[in-house]
Structure 1
Amino acid sequence: MRESAAERHDRLLGLVRERGSARVSELAGRLGVSAVTVRRDVEELAGRGLLDRVHGSVSWPREKGGPAAPAGVGGGLVLGMLAPSATYYFAEVIRGAHEAAARAGARLILRISDYRPEEDQARTEGLLAAGAEGLLVAPGWRRPGDPAAYGDWITSLPVPTVLLERQPVPGSPLDGLDRVCSDHRHGVLLAVRHLMELGHGPPLLMARDDSPTALAVRSGYAEALGVLGVRAPQEVIDSVPAEVHPDRFEAAVQALRAAVASGAATAALIHNDVDAIQVVQRLAELGVRVPRDLALIAYDDEVAALADTPLTAVAPPKHEVGRHATGLLVERLGQERGSDGEAPQRHLTLLPQLRVRASCGA
C-alpha cells in the first residue's frame, strides 16, 4: 500500500521530535524518499508552524512551546485520536468521541493506523505536532504479543492519554493508564447463555484471531463455558476474511457444516458480522438453513440486522466507549489546568447488549 503524504508527514514529525533536529538528507534516508520530497514536506510543515528550518536542517519548535494550534481552534481544547480504522467497528467509536468533544467545546483530530502497530507512534507524533493537548489511543494491535512489542512508547507520551478498547497485560506500565473498554467476555456470555436457554447445547465458536476483539471473544468463550459448567462441542473454528483467503474461509464453512450434519452442534457464535453473513449465505447453498438447522448469533452488530435473515448479535457499546473516553480525557485536562489534586486513574468497562433477531429462532 502506497504511503500517503499525511502518513509521511507524521513519520517526519516523529523523527524530528525524537531527535530535536535533523538534516534534510538524514530525513530523506530514514523516510526512504528523495531530498526534494523532504524539502517540500518541510516547507509545508514549517508553514503550518510545526517545524523550524535552519540552513539545511529542521528542528522541533521548542522555543515556541510546541507547535502552533491549528487555525480556527480558538481557545478550545484540541484532542487527538489514534484509531486503527475509520470504518466498521471504530466508525461508531469515533462518532461518539467526536460528539462528546463537540459538546465539551473541543476539537477532535484523527489519525488512522490501518492496523499497523509499527506506525502507531509516528501517527501519534503527528497528532501532537498538530496541537493535540490530550490523546485517545486505540493502538493497531492484532496479535497477543503486540502490546509488549508496540506499547511501551504510550506510557511516555507528554500529554494525558486514555486507551480505547484495548486491554494491556495486567501489571504492565500500560495497565496504569486510564482506559475505556467494552467487556467482550460479558458479551460472549450473553450469547452462549441465550442459545442454551433456547434449548441448544453449548454453541460452537467460529472466530478470527486478527484483532483484540477477536482474541477477547475467544478467551471469553472459554470463560463462558466454564461459568455455565459445559464443554465446547469441538475445537474453535478459525475464521478468515472470505475475500482475502477464500480457500480457508470455505474450509471453515465446511467444518461448521460437518458439525451440524453430525449433530455435534445446533448453535454457533460467529465473530464478526461480515463473516457471519457470508457464512449463512454459503451454508444455505450447502443445504443448511438458519435458524431451522442452525441457530446463530453474530458478534459486533455492525451490519447483522441487514442479513436476509436478520442476525441476532452481541452489540458492544462502541458509541458510548468513544463518548466516555472523551469525557474522561476532558476531565483529566481540566485537572491539569486547575489547582485540584489529580484523581486516581480509572478503568471503565462498559457492557455489551444482546439484540435478539430471527437467526437464533427465538
Structure 2
Amino acid sequence: MRHHVDHRHDRVLELVRERGSIRVTELAAELGVSPVTLRRDVDMLANQGKVQRMHGAVVWPGEAARAEQPDTGGRVIGMIVPTTRYIFGDVVSGARRVVEAQGGRLVLGVSGYVDSEDPVQAEHLLNSGAEGLLVAPSWFVGAPAGGQEEWLMSCEAPTVLVERTAQAANPAALLDRVRTDRAHGAALAVSHFASLGHRSVAAVLQEGPHAAGITSGYLDSVRSLGLETVPGSPCVRMSGQEYDEVAEYLVEAVGRHGVTAALVHSDEDAIVLVPRLQARGIAVPEDLALIAYEDEVANLADVPLTAVAPPKQAVGELAAKLLLQRLAERSAGREPEPRQHVDLLPKLRVRASCGALRASSGTE
C-alpha cells in the first residue's frame, strides 16, 4: 500500500513540475483518484515543501504567479442546507461572512429536505473544489436514523454538523457540531409564563427536526416549575394538518383544562392561529398568552408576538470558524484538537402577545 502512495506522490510531483500549476480536480481525474484523496496527498507534499497549495490548485515552488486563482484567493467551503428559508437564511449568511473574511468562498448546496440528496450535493461540492463541509442533513427528527449518517462517516473531508445532532452511540456523534439549544429556548418561554403567574401552559409544535428539543425543554420546565400538566400537550402539528384542528385543540385546552398560555412553534403557525382563536372567542393575550418560537416574522404579527429567538447567524459563524480551524490543522499536519459539540442559547424577545412588555431575566 505504501508503494502505491509513494508512486502516486511521485506522479503528482512529475505533473506539477511539468505544468507549473494544475487544478486539484483535474489532477485527481488524471490520476484516477477521488478529489478528497488527492487533496490529502497535496497537503502532505505541501507540508514537506515539495509543492505549494493555492486556492483549488497545486503549484510548483516558485511558480505561484502562474497558478489559476479565483478572486477570493482562499479556501472553498461547501455548505449543505435543506432550505434557504426559515432559520437557514441567517445561518448561511453567518457562515458566508466568516469564510469571506478569511478570503475564501462559500458554495451552497440545497437538499430540499430529501435525505438521498445530501450525499449527491456533498459529492458535487467536493468534486468542484470544496475542501470541507458544513452540513445540516435532512434528518427528519434532527438526528440520524436507519443509517442516514453512513455517507457522512465515509466522507474524508472535514465536516461540521449545523443545527443537527446525533445520539451518543451513533458514529456521527464523533463529528464536530454547532447548534441552537432548543430545549433551553422552550424552558425560557415556560419560565417567562410562570413569572407572569400562568400555572397551565400548553405547547403546539411543528413536526420536524426541532420538535424533540423543544418538547424536552417544555416538559422539563413544566415539571421543574411545578406547573399543571396539560392533557395532550405538546400538540404536534403534522405536515398538512388543518390549522382549524389545532385551533380547536387550544380552545378545548382553555375551556376544559384552564390553560392560559401557550408556546407555538413557529412564528407562521402562531400568526395563522391568532385570528382563528379570536373567531372562537379566545382573545390574545387576554384569554391566552402566546409565545412563538423562531422570531423570523414574529414582530410583524397584528398582535406582535413574544418569541424565542435562536442565534441563527452566530450558529453559522461558529460552525464556519470551527471548520476553518480543522482545515488549518490538517494543512499544517498538526494533531487536531478535541472534537467540539457547541450549543448556543436562544434569547426571549418580549412583545405584546404574552401580556407583558417588561423585560425579564434572560430576555432582550
Matches within 5 A, 1:75-154: 75-143=73-141, 146-154=144-152
Contact (CA 8 Å) 2:143, 2:165: kept in 1 or not? no
Q: Which ranges in structure 1 are unaligned for 5 or more consecutive residues?
A: 1-47, 54-58
Q: Aligned partners of 2:27, 2:87: CA distance in 1, in Å?
A: 32
Aligned to 1:355: 349
Shift in CA distance, 288/78, structure 1 to aligned 2, threshold 3 Å = same
Amino acid at match of 1:330: L
Aligned to 1:38: none
Q: How many residues align?
A: 305
Q: Which ranges in structure 2 are unaligned for 5 or more consecutive residues?
A: 1-24, 40-54, 58-67, 357-364
Shift of residue 61 of structure 1?
Answer: 6.5
Matches within 5 A, 1:265-280: 265-280=259-274
Aligned to 1:330: 324
Give the alignment partner of residue 346 of structure 1, picking from 330, 340, 350: 340
- Secondary structure, counterpart of 1:287 in structure 2: coil
Shift in CA distance, 235/63, structure 1 to aligned 2, threshold 3 Å = closer
Shift in CA distance, 79/261, structure 1 to aligned 2, threshold 3 Å = same
Shift in CA distance, 169/235, structure 1 to aligned 2, threshold 3 Å = same
- Secondary structure, counterpart of 1:65 in structure 2: helix
Matches within 5 A, 1:23-62: none
Shift of residue 224 of structure 1?
Answer: 1.8
Matches within 5 A, 1:189-268: 189-209=187-207, 211-236=208-233, 237-240=235-238, 244-246=240-242, 249-268=243-262
Aligned to 2:45: none
Q: Aligned partners of 1:332, 1:231: CA distance in 2, in Å?
A: 47
Contact (CA 8 Å) 2:143, 2:166: kept in 1 or not? no
- Secondary structure, counterpart of 1:329 in structure 2: helix
Shift in CA distance, 330/94, structure 1 to aligned 2, threshold 3 Å = same
Q: Aligned partners of 2:123, 2:131: CA distance in 1, in Å?
A: 12
The one-character-per-residue Cα deviations of 1:295-349 (angstroms, maximum 9, x if unpaired) are 0000111111110000000011111000000011111111111143211111111
Q: CA RMSD in A?
A: 2.5
Shift of residue 147 of structure 1?
Answer: 3.6
- TM-score (norm: length of structure 1): 0.78
Aligned to 2:18: none
The one-character-per-residue Cα deviations of 1:146-169 (angstroms, maximum 9, x if unpaired) are 444311221221111110011101
Contact (CA 8 Å) 1:50, 1:61: kept in 2 or not? no
> Which structure has the larger Rg over C-alpha atoms?
2
Q: Aligned partners of 2:161, 2:71: CA distance in 1, in Å?
A: 24
Q: Aligned partners of 2:83, 2:343: CA distance in 1, in Å?
A: 21
Amino acid at match of 1:101: V
Aligned to 1:158: 156
- TM-score (norm: length of structure 2): 0.78
Amino acid at match of 1:278: V
Shift in CA distance, 341/49, structure 1 to aligned 2, threshold 3 Å = closer
Shift in CA distance, 146/160, structure 1 to aligned 2, threshold 3 Å = closer
